[in-house]
Structure 1
Amino acid sequence: MKAMFNREEERLEVLAQLAGAPMPTRAALIEEYRKRSEEAYAPETRRCYHQIVRAFSAWCDGMGYSPKPPISPSVVAEYVDWLGGQIRSTTIETRLWAIAEMHRASFEVSPCRHRLVELALKSVKRKYGAAVRQAPALGKKEVCDAISRLSDSRADLRNKALLWILTDSWCRASEVVAFKVKDLLRQDDGSSLLYVTRSKTDPYGEGAYAFLSAEGTRATLRWIEVVGLKLDDPIITKSQVGGRRTPLNPATVSRIIKQCIGRDDVSAHSMRVGGVQDAFRIGCDLSSIMVAGRWSSPEMPARYARRILASQSAAAQVSRAFELERATVP
């Protein structure tokens, strides 16, 4: 009987062969891996990786360990223990990804899959919890109220367009700042579609569409006309007269939102959360919500709407039906 293919065994065998290869061969492979990684990963991912490597190396130096691969699983498990309670477990998992990538880049076996490291992470999650912090929700009503308070200055015209795009499209800040004028596609009913060329979940640019209401379209077109933006100019750009027509930084988008809404706890992601909660509140089905937010899995929208779904659960419906029945009984 033919033996089944085992990818993990093959990977370890290749690594063992590379470990015994001449140093010039290993050095050439490591350099090629570095160059290809620079091209394969997004700039933000590369920055995150280098920051984690620097932090881990500093910890190793302080503890008297070598930060160069291969690193012992017991050292990585100790690092996980040290991180517990300081940062969220999801952030620890991101750091483990970077440590694993360090070893892949050196063609060494990653210690992060070792049972010692897995148990250390489980221990941290059990002790400190594994809850994911969620951005506070910003529903459509609160956003529209904020828009109504804005003036007709250049900055506020830009901010109106920004708020409408965010609350209508459920786009991430990184997607919103990437929109160009040519990505605004008008529809017969006065609304528009925004073409999302690339996103966090679409790094290779397959493309998707997001909705912009008729009122949001009017606000966006007015901003484009006042500033005189061209087809290849970013829609959300600086509002100063004579300012460079470059995309805003996503962090700047969140600062503008805080200022317009009058709350320090919100961000661009708050409107994505608020949109999902509004949709569940009025009875939209999960599939249409996934299409609107461009999710391939129901996990994230369901997480955003946990409070709403609890209020609409079978337990809540039974309680309301029982209360109604008791109220109608003489």
Structure 2
Amino acid sequence: MKKDIPKILDQELIDKYLAALTRPINLELLNEMTSGKYSHSSLLAIRKDWQLFHEFCVEMHVNSLPASVTAVRRFIDKQSKSRKYSSIRRYVITIGMFHYLLGFKDPTSHRQVGFSLSELRTSEKHQSVETNPFTDKHLNELNKRLFTSNEALDIRDLAIYFCMYECALKRHELRELTHSSLRIEPNLVAIEISDQLYILSEQGSIAMIKWLEVSSAQGDIVFCSIDRHGNLSGRQLNDSSIYRILRRASALLSLPEHLKFSSQSGRVGQVKKRAKSGQNIIEIQDFGRWSSPAMPLQYAGKLDSSDKQKQKFRHKKEWD
């Protein structure tokens, strides 16, 4: 997430941004502050991460800008009770970015913060629970349950289950999927993602065509939100709605709590399926559009090889 952004030198601007960061900051102002380097979804994440830290500091009666090393360590400790290392690492990067931009000494560069993160990462590595993979069996069962329904919610969700699994979609790819990326022929739908073409199965194509007929007047976005009354809103899906769609699949299949699907379940399922069929990691990496083989290796159960790949890409921060 961290990018090369110029430091802010104008004191009037610094004061303006400092005031803005004491409340949920306007996205337009945040975009200005970060020199337009981030996408809309990244700006939303940055704002959410910063607000979480700022609210913690308010609760503890300490400053968030500039923050102390102790405040950051206590924040890490609190978040570690309910958050993964990757999320906390992102929070720390956001905190450091704001300190850098506004000319404050960065508390996240202190060795004690580095130790806290290292301990958390080591602990999580030993306690990690693998994401439950979404499989062909799950998809077939959901298709049986939803295929004959004429409810917009059922039609949309079934099409999403096919797309997320058969194309190994990431959340943002699902959110941003447009009609211009679809190739439609009689009883066949193909989806272009990152210059790759993915052909849906026969049942997947039928489910998608059925949804497209229902949602034909909803703009260029393929999958829109649906309100509690079953009305199509025309608004783009967000992370919360995608979470609910996947939780619904878990409920329809009566999965226990520890086996409920996440946004990575379809991608994990594809890795396992393709590894079992004999595809190598590079082929799987290409199919899932991963920037490195680290995560496919992890999902395939090759943890040592995965960790070696992660070490290549992990930023080595110089701790004070």
Indicate the SS of the match to 2:232. coil
- Contact kept, 8 Å, 2:31 with 2:43, in 1: the verdict is no
- Contact kept, 8 Å, 2:218 with 2:234, in 1: the verdict is no
Q: Structure 2: which 5+ residue stretches go unaligned? A: 21-28, 306-320
**1:284 is aligned to 2:271:** no
For residue 148 of structure 2, what is the aligned residue in structure 1?
152
For residue 77 of structure 1, what is the aligned residue in structure 2?
73
For residue 322 of structure 1, what is the aligned residue in structure 2?
none
For residue 25 of structure 2, what is the aligned residue in structure 1?
none
Q: How does 1:1-330 map to 2 (within 5 A)?
A: 23-24=11-12, 27=15, 35-37=32-34, 39-69=36-66, 71-126=67-122, 129=125, 132-155=128-151, 156-186=154-184, 191-196=188-193, 208-225=196-213, 227=214, 229=216, 232-237=219-224, 243-248=232-237, 249-263=241-255, 265-306=260-301
Q: CA RMSD in A?
A: 3.7
Q: Structure 1: which 5+ residue stretches go unaligned? A: 1-10, 197-205, 311-330
How many aligned residue pairs are there? 282
Indicate the SS of the match to 1:109. coil
Deviations 1:237-296 (A, max 9, x none): 357776333333323432442344333511342111111111111111222211211112
Indicate the SS of the match to 2:90. helix
- Contact kept, 8 Å, 2:285 with 2:292, in 1: the verdict is yes
CA distance 1:57–1:215, change in 2 (3 Å): closer
- Contact kept, 8 Å, 1:147 with 1:163, in 2: the verdict is no
TM superposition shift of 1:186: 4.0
TM superposition shift of 1:191: 4.7
**How many angstroms apart in 2 are the aligned matches of 1:159 and 1:34?**
33
Per the normalisation by structure 1, the TM-score is: 0.69
* Percent of aligned positions that are identical: 19
TM superposition shift of 1:42: 3.5
**How many angstroms apart in 2 are the aligned matches of 1:34 and 1:246?**
22
Indicate the SS of the match to 2:43. helix
TM superposition shift of 1:217: 1.7
Indicate the SS of the match to 2:190. strand
CA distance 1:177–1:154, change in 2 (3 Å): farther
**How many angstroms apart in 1 are the aligned matches of 2:41 and 2:203?**
34
Deviations 1:38-81 (A, max 9, x none): 84333443343333333333443454532222x34344334434
Amino acid at match of 2:235: T
Amino acid at match of 2:222: I
Indicate the SS of the match to 2:53. helix
Amino acid at match of 1:270: S
**How many angstroms apart in 2 are the aligned matches of 1:162 and 1:123?**
38
CA distance 1:131–1:207, change in 2 (3 Å): farther
**How many angstroms apart in 2 are the aligned matches of 1:33 and 1:242?**
33
Indicate the SS of the match to 1:244. strand
